[in-house]
Amino acid sequence: MSQAGVVTRLAVRELWISFRLLALLAAYVGVGAIIALLPASEAATTLARLAVGLGAAIVVGCGIAADALSTERALGRAGWLVTRSISRATLLLGWFVALAAVTLLGLGAAGILGWLAIATPEQRLEPAAVAAVLAGVAAMSLAALAVGLLFGALLPRVIGTVVALLVGCLLIGAALTVAPSAFVPLAALVDLGTLERPIGDGLRGTGVFLAVTGASMVAARVALGRVDL
């Protein structure tokens, strides 16, 4: 098994032991379950609820990522791995892969439940359009994880987690209120029923936030290389 695989397996185990894995899954699956159970007279209402719920889950993911990495640093486990010839880049990648796998699993479940709530005889949305926009939301969730890891690499546990949650709330709030739907998938999800080119908007947003994810991971790697573990 590669070093990245070992770190990922250890990260998943630590997420499970600390109940962060369950919290992250519950944040996404809970949103889908609530959307599926709540009655809504119009698809637009359901879409708005789904976007707000997924935005909240994304913020939770950002905070969990910051808390997990900063805890590893504080307890010395990250430093112990580095002294065993595990590079800092591999450590960061392993945690990102572990968090991303759990996040995408939860988001997939939430997306299916949300689709079941939206796909009514009165409102028929193209599955490809919904899938494209949800792919963009997945890219947003990955970007949030990368930002959370950046704060976890820079700041102590409590401060890093609080800052990650606050920044996440501000960014998601902006995404839902003032951001253009052509570039922000959560905004596109709210307006899905009225978008002229939902597939193009979803794919464009996916590309934008995958780029944000990459830039944030590079910044997190630089930050992790400059701190004591």
Domains in the chain: boundaries? 3-225
Q: Is 193 helix (H, G, I), strand (E, B) or coil?
A: coil
Mark out the alpha helices in the chain (DSSP H runs).
3-17, 20-37, 43-75, 77-83, 88-118, 127-154, 157-177, 185-190, 198-225
pLDDT per position as a tens digit, 49-78:
999 999 999 999 999 999 999 999 998 888
Distance, CA of 118 to CA of 121 (rounded, Å): 9
pLDDT per position as a tens digit, 111-168:
888 888 877 666 667 888 889 999 999 999 999 999 999 999 999 989 999 999 999 9
Question: Locate tokens 């791995």: which residue?
Answer: 81
- What average pLDDT does the chain have? 89
Query: Whole-prediction pTM value?
Result: 0.94
Q: What is the mean pLDDT of residues 185-207?
A: 87
- Would the pLDDT of 17 be above 90? yes
